[in-house]
Chain A
């Protein structure tokens, strides 16, 4: 069985971001970009499936600007067999005249100038992944449950909908035997856990607790640098720029309202008194 893993490049989770003065997006305080943490977990799970002999091949795919290839190299170093990059930039839409009134670029995730941004929105990504899943004859598509930049939490569900495949989102455990026709997935839901059994092919999105991704070793990274990354333009997948053009324009990005400065209290007694008399919450 072939496993497809979708990878997104985002501003590193540990790097603070701030709203740009022109409100067109956010900027990172350090120029560090990494694989989205949830994508890392999805990839780790796929590589483990390969190591157990369940998956025959792991294909890492990414849709977006040229610099997303760096993250696909990390995916190769982590154990993906192949990498496929579908190049899409803001210019893709501008050239096609499909950018709409917003002047191109930007989306639910931020402004055109932020270095990490993909101009795509989940519907566009899901359409590309659906075409790739068809081309590759994938038996399973693994994704992260959400990207930590746009926080959408949509792509996996939309992909499953487009393909007409079953879905298991927020997975914290995946049981899949070699040659099995079904995957058993434990999901994190409000209030606890839920277990589903899915006929394959299926789409699964990873929650934080699915696994702990391995570290990439330097020799693995050096080997990955030499390996080719296939470029699969939209046209080769039967898609046009209009199919993946963002539907939402980003009007403004604003700072969250700042909280008034708080105070330190001297002890429990003072805390309780102020909670009663000032905050009136006790």
Chain B
């Protein structure tokens, strides 16, 4: 309540404030603060590499913030220091930051931003980025921009709306002190050579790592926050769905969880990931986190193979930017055929085993 009342009470000063902020922004060096996502073993998330690639479209220096605790956060900070374009890494290590809780991570990110005054705060549009960054924006009283696919300039961004059926170009009416944005990872390809040159152990020159001032960490213990209880994160050994080069997706027509083994075999042969339509997830054939679509993951692999998927608009929203789309379906009217580069009208229980054998032959020849 209090911030709201304060906001409304202060609105008379708004015009003067925004003028001041405007000139301050122009006078100040533009810079971007990147929120780094990392796993429990300290590996920087592939989606953060894409966000770093997106940051190149903004002027000024790129600084990264790594939040966590223990050895993992130190490893992640070292890895972040080798991300292409990063000029400095802020290391925030505290027990309250151990798990990526929005309450503590957003508090720290906003207080560091209030101190460093970046022109942009950026993260990848992952479950974690979308959880934390809008809260940061609220703490900084600014409207965030989600799932950006193109950066036009400092204040202008393109983002999908209506399940990717339209692209909206939005622009801040008054340049804010700080713009909070999340970027769609598949829209900003990582420069593999630059990433490799900066990868740990290959001799890239890392950026300096500096601990965040301790006075920013001190209040975190008293932030009313959720308590992290447990996680059930599956490890398949396959590439991560959001960044895989090949994705094999199954729909309800697979009829059972056991039949998904076929798709796993095909995906493994191609070095790809397995995904699913909402229908397959709802039917219990695979876990929720494999869902591709508007409400699941957005993928844009080199090769997408949709098996027994009709192609509802909510699913198409998650895969239609794939480079090559293959559809295998016995319904000649299935909407997925309208976006497929190669459509095979066939019984999947016959076609998929044939495809597995054919791919095996191709791989043997290579």
Is B25 an interface position by the 8 A CB rule?
no
Stretch from A73-81, A216-224, A260-268 contacting the other chain: A260-268
- Inside 8 A of B239's CB, which chain A residues have their CB? none
Q: A102-B173, A191-B240 are in contact. List 14 more A-B contacts (CB 8 A).
A: A101-B173, A160-B103, A163-B1, A164-B224, A188-B288, A191-B234, A192-B234, A194-B231, A208-B278, A248-B171, A248-B172, A262-B343, A267-B346, A272-B362
Q: Which of under 10, 10 to 19, 20 to 34, or 35 or more describes the interface residues of B?
A: 35 or more
Determine if A282 and B102 form an interchain contact, defined as CB atoms under 8 angstroms apart: no
- B343 (CB) vs chain A CBs: closest residue: A264
Smallest Cβ distance from A188 to chain B, in angstroms? 5
Determine if A26 and B226 form an interchain contact, defined as CB atoms under 8 angstroms apart: no
Q: Which of A8-25 contact B (CB under 8 A)?
A: 11, 13, 16-19
- B228 (CB) vs chain A CBs: closest residue: A196
- Given A195-B230, A196-B226, residue A157 in contact with residue B131 (CB < 8 A): yes
Is A154 an interface position by the 8 A CB rule?
yes
Considering the chains assembled together, what is the distance between the CA atoms of A123 and B167 in angstroms? 21
Considering the chains assembled together, what is the distance between the CA atoms of A1 and B242 in angstroms? 40
Smallest Cβ distance from A145 to chain B, in angstroms? 8
Considering the chains assembled together, what is the distance between the CA atoms of A222 and B106 in angstroms? 45
Interface string of B139-181 (1 = CB under 8 A from A): 1011111110000000010011111111111111110100000
Considering the chains assembled together, what is the distance between the CA atoms of A108 and B302 in angstroms? 30
- Inside 8 A of A164's CB, which chain B residues have their CB? 224
Interface string of B117-144 (1 = CB under 8 A from A): 0000000001110111111111101111
Q: Which of A186-233 contact B (CB under 8 A)?
A: 187-199, 202, 207-209
Stretch from A49-57, A64-72, A82-90, A239-247 contacting the other chain: A239-247
Smallest Cβ distance from A206 to chain B, in angstroms? 11
Considering the chains assembled together, what is the distance between the CA atoms of A152 and B136 in angstroms? 15
Counted as pairs of residues, one from A and one from B, with CB atoms less than 8 Å apart, the total is: 302
Closest 7 pairs (CB-CB, A-B): A161-B138, A157-B134, A134-B1, A100-B173, A158-B138, A247-B143, A192-B233
- Inside 8 A of B231's CB, which chain A residues have their CB? 189, 192-195
Is B268 an interface position by the 8 A CB rule?
no
Determine if B135 and A160 form an interchain contact, defined as CB atoms under 8 angstroms apart: yes
Smallest Cβ distance from A102 to chain B, in angstroms? 6
Which one of A18, A240, A281 has the highest number of Cβ atoms from chain B below 10 Å of its Cβ? A281
Q: Which of B18-73 contact A (CB under 8 A)?
A: none
- Given A130-B1, A158-B134, residue A242 in contact with residue B11 (CB < 8 A): yes
- Given A26-B162, A126-B138, A276-B362, residue A189 in contact with residue B128 (CB < 8 A): yes
- B126 (CB) vs chain A CBs: closest residue: A190
Determine if B313 and A16 form an interchain contact, defined as CB atoms under 8 angstroms apart: yes
Determine if A251 and B294 form an interchain contact, defined as CB atoms under 8 angstroms apart: no
Interface residue count for A (Cβ, 8 Å)?
Answer: 100
Smallest Cβ distance from A104 to chain B, in angstroms? 11
Stretch from B75-83, B84-92, B189-197, B352-360 contacting the other chain: B352-360
Is A139 an interface position by the 8 A CB rule?
no
Determine if A269 and B168 form an interchain contact, defined as CB atoms under 8 angstroms apart: no
Considering the chains assembled together, what is the distance between the CA atoms of A271 and B226 in angstroms? 51
Considering the chains assembled together, what is the distance between the CA atoms of A256 and B158 in angstroms? 11
- Inside 8 A of A150's CB, which chain B residues have their CB? 161
Smallest Cβ distance from A82 to chain B, in angstroms? 20
Q: Which of B336-366 contact A (CB under 8 A)?
A: 337, 339-346, 351, 354-355, 358-359, 362
Determine if B4 and A238 form an interchain contact, defined as CB atoms under 8 angstroms apart: yes
Considering the chains assembled together, what is the distance between the CA atoms of A255 and B164 in angstroms? 9
Q: Which of B190-229 contact A (CB under 8 A)?
A: 224-229
- Inside 8 A of A131's CB, which chain B residues have their CB? 1, 4
Determine if B139 and A153 form an interchain contact, defined as CB atoms under 8 angstroms apart: no
Smallest Cβ distance from B235 to chain A, in angstroms? 8
- Given A189-B127, A250-B168, A269-B358, residue A148 in contact with residue B163 (CB < 8 A): yes
Q: What would be 8 A-B contacts, judged by CB atoms less than 8 Å apart?
A: A108-B170, A130-B4, A151-B146, A151-B294, A153-B146, A252-B169, A254-B166, A255-B166
Looking at the complex, which one of A122, A195, A240 makes contact with B143 (CB distance below 8 Å)? A122
